[in-house]
Amino acid sequence: MGTKERKEREREELSGLILAAAREIFLEKGYEQTSIRNIADRIEYSPGTIYLYYKDKDSIFHALQQEGFSRFGQQMMVLQAVADPYERLKAMGRVYLKFAKENPDYYDLMFVIRAPMKVLDDEECWNEGQNSFNFLVSVVAECKEHGRFACCDPEELAYVIWSTLHGMVTLDIRGRCRVVSDEKREDIEERGFKALLHLLSHI
Amino acid sequence: MGTKERKEREREELSGLILAAAREIFLEKGYEQTSIRNIADRIEYSPGTIYLYYKDKDSIFHALQQEGFSRFGQQMMVLQAVADPYERLKAMGRVYLKFAKENPDYYDLMFVIRAPMKVLDDEECWNEGQNSFNFLVSVVAECKEHGRFACCDPEELAYVIWSTLHGMVTLDIRGRCRVVSDEKREDIEERGFKALLHLLSHI
DNA sequence: TTGATTTACTAAACAGTGTTCAGTATGTTT
DNA sequence: AAACATACTGAACACTGTTTAGTAAATCAA
């Protein structure tokens, strides 16, 4: 008899329901407003039930972070169509900035908020981030094989490129971009990205 | 009779005491652990009293942010000794990274945490940040006057440089640097900064 | 089918959070 | 001495994450 299998299926169903509710509230009202009680209310279960499916609040956000990386990965798929490595690198930057602009809350969860990282103990690997970074490093390395960035270490250059884009995005997301003059603020990330490409094209 | 003056002095005294306690707890135990009740306990007043001196919790963190910028400004003083603008720009980057490394909590408050920015309404000016950014822009502009960065807009280039350093610092502070290989992680910011300088020196 | 056991869930409690406000006690002024 | 102003408190309100004793239902064994 398949009662065991059914039970397992039901377990995963509620676990998925909890995550769906968390995602809804998170995307509707943001991180601060996503509480265990809010999630419980939405699925009409008691708060305690949530702890039968997730260790704590942080692990719910870790699950949402993984969803974010999944979306992110899908968006990056378009890069497979770009043959030239340097063109692929440029397209990658644009996809990165587009993802951040369209999913600022997911971006925050993936790269800024501490909560989802707390479930990883000190030296445990952060797989999702690692894969994304490795991919960037590999693209930079390919550029190098094609003659670009001859004097640079791929990992170091990847890190600098990532830092620049991440810096632009977080200055925006966390409200620090108002220091930029009015006429440039609206498209400052686009301007910044072009300036970065300009720098990269001269080495 | 100077009762009015004395009262005012006493007001500022307690206001300063609250801020000092907030600073202590913030630097000892971090942002999350700095609560109104913790502050009240430390100065042996009731929680309600704090609201007679500060509008809300955010405005306390805004005051702490200003302190952060004050420290930051003092550290930047050493740049007055650097005559050549490009050397000054390089020294500025090093001071920036040094400040972030030595005062990660202040840095977080100044450039990442949302709370202290909430006291500024939507289009109100963020003076502390504005002054710092303007200073960076002016140094880049001076470089340009000395023949460097000929093809770049000073504000845009200042923004890119700031973004790169800010990105490196926040990836570190918010625990996203573990993707960098072990052998480079320890001094990855130094390596990244050198790579940035390398980029800047080729345009 | 009955009794034992496991599973799934809830309600309540604990300890904490920011914030407000009626009441009090002290200091100042008339 | 009475009136008023100021400074502060303590309790309350509405939240937060998390734990746990208790319950009701489902499953299993005899």
> What values do phi and psi take at B2, rounded to 5?
-95, 35
Whether A185 has its CB under 8 Å from any CB of chain B: the answer is no
Whether B152 has its CB under 8 Å from any CB of chain A: the answer is yes
Q: Which residue of B has its CA nearest to A152?
A: B195
Contact (CB, 8 A) for A63 and A54: yes
pLDDT of residue B89: 98
In Å, how far from its chain's centre is CA A68? 5
Average pLDDT over residues B12-20: 95
**Residue contact B179–A113, C-beta within 8 A:** no
Q: How far apart are CA B91 and CA A195, in angstroms?
A: 22
Domain ranges of chain B: 1-54, 69-200
CA distances, A96 to each of A90, B164, B197 (Å): 10, 15, 24
**Residue contact A184–B123, C-beta within 8 A:** no
Whether B130 has its CB under 8 Å from any CB of chain A: the answer is yes
**Residue contact A163–B171, C-beta within 8 A:** yes
Q: Which residue of B has its CA nearest to A135?
A: B179
Question: Distance in angstroms, CA of B48 to C1' of C18?
Answer: 10
The CATH topology of domain B69-200 is: Tetracycline Repressor; domain 2 (1.10.357)
CA distances, A94 to each of A129, A165, A191 (Å): 18, 10, 12
**Helix, strand, coil percent values for chain A (each to nearest 5):** 75, 0, 25
pLDDT of residue B122: 81
Question: Distance in angstroms, CA of A54 to C1' of C5?
Answer: 25
Task: Categorize the per-residue pLDDT at A193 as very low, low, confident or very high, splitting at 50, 70 and 90.
Answer: very high
Q: How far apart are CA B28 and CA B79, in angstroms?
A: 30
**Does residue B1 have a pLDDT over 50?**
no
Average pLDDT over residues B148-160: 96
Q: Which residues of B touch A123 (CB under 8 A)?
A: 178
**Residue contact B130–A179, C-beta within 8 A:** yes
Average pLDDT over residues A155-172: 98
Structure tokens at A158: 């990847």
- Percent of chain B clearing pLDDT 90 (strictly above): 91
- Nucleic strand D contact set for B 41-60 (CB, < 7 Å): 44-49, 52
pLDDT of residue B203: 85
CA distances, A143 to each of A84, A90, A151, B184 (Å): 8, 11, 12, 21
Helix residue spans in A77-185 (DSSP H): 85-102, 104-111, 127-145, 154-173, 182-185
Rounded to 5 degrees, what angle do the CA atoms B125, B126, B131 make?
110
pLDDT of residue B29: 97
**Does residue B6 have a pLDDT over 80?**
no
Average pLDDT over residues A93-111: 98
Domain at A78-200: CATH architecture: Orthogonal Bundle (1.10)
**Helix, strand, coil percent values for chain B (each to nearest 5):** 75, 0, 25
Task: Categorize the per-residue pLDDT at B2 as very low, low, confident or very high, splitting at 50, 70 and 90.
Answer: low
Rounded to the nearest 10 degrees, what angle do helices B85-102 and B154-173 cross at?
20
Whether B192 has its CB under 8 Å from any CB of chain A: the answer is yes
Window from A21-30, A70-79, B117-126 with minimum mean pLDDT: B117-126
Cβ-based burial of A99 (10 A; exposed 0-12, middle 13-18, buried ≥19): buried
The CATH topology of domain B1-54 is: Arc Repressor Mutant, subunit A (1.10.10)
The 10s digit of each residue's pLDDT in B43-88 is 999 999 999 999 999 999 999 999 999 999 999 999 999 999 999 9
Question: Distance in angstroms, CA of B16 to C1' of D4?
Answer: 28
Whether A150 has its CB under 8 Å from any CB of chain B: the answer is no
The 10s digit of each residue's pLDDT in A52-94 is 999 999 999 999 999 999 999 999 999 999 999 999 999 999 9
Average pLDDT over residues B130-150: 97
**Residue contact A126–B202, C-beta within 8 A:** no
Rounded to the nearest 10 degrees, what angle do helices B57-76 and B85-102 cross at?
140
Q: How far apart are CA B44 and CA A140, in angstroms?
A: 58
pLDDT of residue B123: 80
Question: Distance in angstroms, CA of B185 to C1' of C4?
Answer: 58
Structure tokens at A137: 């490093």
Residue among B117, B163, B188 minimizing CB distance to A159: B188
Contact (CB, 8 A) for A136 and A166: no
Q: Which residue of B has its CA nearest to A162?
A: B167
pLDDT of residue B104: 98
- Asked if residue A2 keeps its beta carbon closer than 7 A to nucleic acid strand D, the reply is no
